[in-house]
Amino acid sequence: MREITYAEAIREALSEEMRSDDSIVFIGEDIGIYGGAFGVSKGMLAEFGPERVRDTPISETAIVGCGVGAAMAGLRPVVEIMFSDFLAVAMDQVVNQAAKARFQFGGQFTVPLVIRAPSGSGTGAAEQHSQSLEAWFVHTPGIKVVTPSTPADAKGLLKTAIRDANPVLFLEQKLLYRVKGEVPEGDYSIPFGQAAVRREGKDVAVVSYGRMVGRCLEAAALVAAEGIETEVIDLRTLAPLDRDSIVRAAKKCGRVLVVHEACQTGGVGGEIVATIVDSEAFFYLDAPVRRCCGQDTPIPYNRNLEDSVVPQTAGIAEALRGLCGRKS
């Protein structure tokens, strides 16, 4: 199977959907002539023209608000926010308008809106361009939250998002854009709410999403040499959350580590832990469920400090050893 980058997979999904449905429009800052802040939309302006690939002013409030209105009026907009941190500027449009319109109007309107947003740390972009804010939106009923970890998932999940009748927040970890992986050609989609088992194991389960899935796989390979077999669960979507897969992995392994780069306090990891301890999986546990998450601090500009506040492969491996009663 051919290999393409995560960014190319996103562009391919969006372009294929726009070719098949004239109601899809793409809106955002510098997505046209410039090709997007991370190069995702290069060439799309030339193919689809300025009516469907629309550069906007620097106003996230206007961008998301325009998307909500266009969706309610019958279009299927995909809006790009240059950094997910800037969603803070458009919180009213996201959580009070997009997420609630269908409920508020008793189903008279739908909001088939996709909000694409680069997320997370790792580029040295400092505290206002490096956050992982997914928990804000998981806490908001009415919006779906998607966090693909591979190019193949990025394409399949974006197609599902574009075809959905409800608003979807599609978070793309910035360091994944240049990662290559096998991606099927042609049309395919991946259902929301279905986690993927990236590695089979029996001793301890790791539950993660986004960029951290790759680091969890690296950590699992390290501890495998020491006799610890780790199961790695990639959630893929956070809302809806595949609780059945989380419970199944906990029952199978008896030990669970939750990993994400967002701050630990108030993060999605707490909901994952609660899912386990509120289920029959609690009675299968051989150790308390542990979290390996970002520190509760703004992301530093200094690269070494930045690395120190988000989980690294070595730290995940050490947490796995600790859960299994091993010493490094």
Q: Which domain holds residue 275?
A: 196-323
Mean pLDDT score, 201-212? 98
Distances 8 to 5, 86, 169, 183, 282 between C-alpha atoms, Å: 5, 23, 19, 10, 42
Indicate the residue type of 1: M
Task: Give yes or no: residues 221 and 316 share one domain.
Answer: yes
Task: Give yes or no: residues 129 and 277 share one domain.
Answer: no
The reply to whether 234 falls in a domain is yes
Other C-beta atoms closer than 10 Å to the C-beta of 59 total: 14
In the residue annotation, 260 being an active-site residue is answered as no
CA dist 229 and 200 (Å) reads 8
The reply to whether 191 falls in a domain is no
- At residue 320, the pLDDT reads 98
CA dist 192 and 249 (Å) reads 19
The reply to whether 188 falls in a domain is no
- At residue 268, the pLDDT reads 98
Neighbouring-strand partners of residue 232: 199, 206
Q: Which token pair is 287?
A: 């150790």
Candidate list 12, 60, 231, 271, residue with the active-site label: 60
Task: Give yes or no: residues 19 and 130 share one domain.
Answer: yes
Q: Which of 197, 198, 204, 199 is nearest to 322 (CA)?
A: 204
Helix H or strand E segment including 199: strand 196-199
Task: Give yes or no: residues 222 and 312 share one domain.
Answer: yes
Mean pLDDT score, 155-172? 98
143 and 99 Cβ atoms separated by less than 8 Å: yes
3-state helix, strand, coil in the chain (%, to 5): 40, 20, 40
Q: Could you report the per-residue pLDDT of 71-100, keeping only the tens digit for each?
A: 999 999 999 999 999 999 999 999 999 999
User: 3-class SS at 80?
Assistant: strand
The reply to whether 328 falls in a domain is no
Q: How confident is the model at residue 1 (pLDDT cuts 50, 70, 90)?
A: confident
CA dist 109 and 100 (Å) reads 10
Mean pLDDT score, 148-176? 98
- Please state the domain count of the chain: 2
Task: Give yes or no: residues 60 and 31 share one domain.
Answer: yes
Q: Which token pair is 237?
A: 């979507």
Provide the whole-model pTM: 0.96
Task: Give yes or no: residues 178 and 242 share one domain.
Answer: no
Candidate list 8, 12, 80, 129, residue with the active-site label: 129
Task: Give yes or no: residues 133 and 221 share one domain.
Answer: no
Q: What is the largest CA-CA distance in the chain?
A: 60
Q: How confident is the model at residue 328 (pLDDT cuts 50, 70, 90)?
A: low
- Domain harbouring 304, CATH code: 3.40.50.920
Mean pLDDT score, 280-293? 98
- Domain harbouring 81, CATH code: 3.40.50.970
Q: Could you report the per-residue pLDDT of 8-43, keeping only the tens digit for each?
A: 999 999 999 999 999 999 999 999 999 999 999 999
Other C-beta atoms closer than 10 Å to the C-beta of 8 total: 20
Task: Give yes or no: residues 56 and 154 share one domain.
Answer: yes
Task: Give yes or no: residues 161 and 302 share one domain.
Answer: no
In the residue annotation, 139 being an active-site residue is answered as no
